[in-house]
Chain A
Amino acid sequence: MEKTVNQKAWFLVLPVLVLVAFSAVIPLMTVVNYSVQDTFGNNQFFWAGLEWFKEMLDSERMWNALGRQLMFSGIILLIEVPLGVFVALNMPKSGFWSSFCLVLMSLPLLIPWNVVGTIWQIFGRVDIGLLGYTLDALGIDYNYTQDTVAAWITIVVMDVWHWTSLVALLAYAGLKSIPDAYYQAAKIDQASRWKVFRYIELPKMMGVLMIAILLRFMDSFMIYTEPFVVTGGGPGNATTLLSIDLVKMALGQFDLGPAAAFSLMYFLVILLISWVFYTVMINLEKREG
């Protein structure tokens, strides 16, 4: 759509600007403030320059948390994206069953995050949970509070359970926008099922799939509540992802300086991914319109 140039539109945006500035810019400036100062308590601060940033960049702890975080995000993307596409391809296209599937698939997306954690915390327990009990009965040694591998599998499966439907719903929206004529043409050419997927469905889905991947990456990158409820970051530090580590540092130990430096670097990464996301969106719109 052609947009008219109108500087007075600023007045319409002003309330949003004020509100978001209050809830984003002011807190962020506090973080910046802390990141360059040190304190001996009693609210006496002095200039520390970039010391905290140097300390954090040298700290094993942050790099380990980042490593775990990237591993987590990588694994869940590798599972959720193909699985989501696969589910979308198998969803009924219309009628009662389509609504039925949509409603049930949306359910996990709308459950409070701590309840998602609680559900899996219970589900995986060997004494009272269906999953843990069954695995135990089968003779598989499974204990997510003691064993690193079991803890990782639990939080990965939990995330797959929680968010695969989102990828599937987005892919499904992409699939539904493909005109019937494409399929008819493919039928005339006697294209195989795989070729239909590879040359018609996948290219047409690419846009929404890109959105799905970026959304999932971003949201998994700042995940906190679910793994925190299930494992509390343990056993040891095995599932201490970035946000969990940051909260431990900032609110648990009250290490303001390092936590602030950590926050800012964390935020910069997010900003970078947001920018990629934005560029992808804009290009998509240009291509379509």
Chain B
Amino acid sequence: MAADTTMTAASTRSRSKIRINSSAVVMTLYLLFLLLPIYWLLNMSLKTNSEILNTFTLWPNNLTFANYATILTDPAWYMGYVNSLIYVLMNTVISLAVALPAAYAFSRYQFMGDKHLFFWLLSNRMAPPAVFALPFFQLYSSVGLFDTHIAVALAHCLFNVPLAVWILEGFMRGVPKEIDETAYIDGYSFPKFFVKIFMPLIASGIGVAAFFCFMFSWVELLLSRTLTTVDAKPIAAIMTRTQGASGIDWGVLAAAGILTIVPGALVIYFVRNYIAKGFALGRV
């Protein structure tokens, strides 16, 4: 009997050990699948073009940073990053500024047409940019904003404002209403209460909303490319036009790609627990 118990215990232990191992194998394979293409881009960005085209090497044999140097010294390249950053930051600030009070209203009050409005916002988050490309082009041309940063920032508000409203509303509903009421009894005015008490309470929500506004504006290409030609041309559009007379400069293209991943990779650790929530518009 005793031997029997130890046997079962041992077999359970070994079985659970096998299961942990199989999980580790699955995760390793999956992560390998995710990282291999990115590694390949990084690998290419550190090679010379002759090494890329003439030999097939799994890691750079002649390590070179010349591709990065090209991008960081040539204004035609690095201005792309500057342009992208300018309109992305503009968009994030605008989106959050208008979304904060609106999200508060949706999370706290009932008013005429609130549900319809909330749904209408969602439908804009889901609107295909392809549908809006041409009308945006004409709208911003006619008001003289074509090829400016603000045009792209406003265009991206189409999906980022609804996104920010939905995410922030998801965070705000978690804050008990008693806090608002206590603050009003204590004599706080609405703006003072909102900035001094309420915003610190949903600081993580604001961070997540800002991150997602930043990301979605950063990754979008179709609208930003349609609305710009020279002065506000984003890095993504420059990358799609690297094909010169002598063929594609693969090394520089790869380096440019790696540099666009950097902003996301830098903050990913801080938002890791909110990625699902942000993509699900604050609903998880």
Contacts and interface: CB of A to CB of B under 8 A. Distances in A.
Nearest to B22: A90
Nearest to A211: B280
A215 B102 contact: no
A86 B161 CA distance: 34
A80 to B, nearest CB: 12
B38 A215 contact: no
Interface in B129-154: 129-139, 154
Given A30-B138, A114-B240, A115-B236, A20 B124 contact: yes
Given A169-B276, A246-B130, A3 B108 contact: yes
B225 to A, nearest CB: 9
A71 interface: no
A130 B30 CA distance: 17
Provide the main secondary structure of the chain B interface.
helix
Interface string A1-23: 11111111110110111011011
A16 B99 contact: yes
Nearest to A262: B131
Contact of A243 (B44, B124, B128): B128
A16 B163 CA distance: 12
A284 B34 CA distance: 32
Contacts of A212: 280
A27 B219 contact: no
A106 B275 contact: yes
B27 A92 contact: yes
B198 interface: no
Contacts, number: 284
A91 B272 CA distance: 14
A128 B250 contact: yes
Interface string A205-234: 000100110010010011011000100000
Nearest to A223: B128
B5 interface: no
A122 B40 contact: yes
- Of B37, B40, B107, B269, most buried by chain A (CB within 10 Å of CB) is B37
Given A110-B219, A112-B219, A23 B154 contact: yes
Interface in B61-111: 94, 97-99, 101-102, 104-111
18 contacts: A3-B108, A13-B105, A15-B102, A16-B102, A30-B139, A87-B30, A90-B30, A103-B269, A106-B272, A110-B265, A112-B261, A114-B221, A114-B239, A130-B58, A208-B280, A243-B130, A271-B123, A278-B122
